[in-house]
Amino acid sequence: MMTMDPIDLLVLWWRAEKEWLPVRGYPRHAASARDWRASCQFDDANGAQETDALGELIVHVAHVVEQLDNPWRTALHLLARNRACGQTSWDSPLLPSEPVARAQIVAEALHRFTHNL
């Protein structure tokens, strides 16, 4: 398995999640990478095997994030979104407004995330 920084994994997961659109005939119960599938091709020169491995990794990250309770799940969502967008403007009323308390929650969320990977 590839070694990636946990924040890079979250950014990768968030970018896959944001592409989800409800489509007729597909589950609409949650915007999750859980049902994401890469094409099954047998030509290894076109990157299909890497795409399959990446899809499995994204599904695993989504499962780990979904298992966390709030406020840690919210902290990971915001961290991934802010890092993916290159901004720190996204916020949530579910997290404390005090910077020190927020940083503690984000640190604990990252610890729980990496522990469950």
pLDDT at position 55 is 78
Structure tokens at 109: 């969320």
* Mean pLDDT per 10-residue section of the chain, whose length is 117 residues: 80 82 54 54 59 80 92 93 85 90 95 93
Q: What is the pLDDT of residues 83-99, one digit of tens each?
A: 988 888 788 888 999 99
Tell me the percentage of the chain whose pLDDT exceeds 70: 69
pLDDT at position 26 is 55
Q: How far apart are CA 114 and CA 61, in angstroms?
A: 10
How many CA within 13 A on the CB side of residue 32?
15
| Sign of the alpha-carbon torsion through 59, 38, 1, 5 | negative
DSSP secondary structure string for all residues of 15-84: HHHHT----TTS--S---GGG--------GGGTHHHHHHHHHHHHHHHHHHHHSPTTHHHHHHHHHHHHH
- Entry pTM: 0.73
